[in-house]
Amino acid sequence: MLAEAMVAAAAAAGTTVVQSASSDLWAAFRDRCARLVGRGDPARENDALERLDRTAAVLDAAGEDEAGQVRDLQIGLWQGRFEALLESLEQPERDRFVAELRALAEESTAEQAGRGVVSGNTFHGPTAVQVGDHNHQDVHFGPTG
């Protein structure tokens, strides 16, 4: 059985796979993730690349009504893959892998935050979104009085 911190690292990495799949950073993330999962074995790395590509394709093909459910399913699948890999490793390598998973998730999240990526949001009703530096926005919804 995995320690809670290891399960949390696998969950964060699974979420990062799904979030990264729809970003401009996907190609770099995909390659880095596959190298991490491959652990120096070209066949495992290639298998990981194929799985990552399938994940991106499934997420891209999901309709608006099913997108949330598909994202959740893919997050769970990747969390399970990372957990299975962790369970197959001996303790010293397991600790290194957890550290690498955390770094992958943290760096990818930081890179996406720096690019202003917004993904998976649903707005109901009037909405105003503004991006950029030193902006001013004065928004009024409804009748003016």
Helices 42-61 and 26-38, interaxial angle, to 10°? 140
Picking from 1-10, 88-97, 119-128, which range would have the lowest pLDDT averaged per residue? 119-128
Q: Are 21 and 55 in contact (CB under 8 A)?
A: yes
The string of pLDDT tens digits covering residues 61-117 is 999 899 999 999 999 999 999 999 999 999 899 999 999 999 998 888 766 665 555
pLDDT surpasses 80 at 14 = yes
The string of pLDDT tens digits covering residues 101-123 is 999 988 887 666 655 555 556 66
Which pLDDT value is given to residue 133? 57
Helices 42-61 and 67-88, interaxial angle, to 10°? 160
Query: What value does the mean pLDDT take over residues 3-27?
Result: 91
Query: What value does the mean pLDDT take over residues 131-136?
Result: 61
Q: Where are the alpha helices (DSSP H) in 1-145?
A: 4-21, 26-38, 42-61, 67-88, 91-114
Which pLDDT value is given to residue 135? 66
The string of pLDDT tens digits covering residues 22-47 is 888 899 999 999 999 999 999 999 99
Residue 138 dihedral angles phi and psi, to the nearest 5°: -125, 100
Q: Vertex 100, ends 99 and 103: CA angle to 5°?
A: 85
Query: Which residue type does 140 have?
Result: H
pTM over 0.75: no
Rounded Cα gap, residues 71 and 62, in angstroms:
9
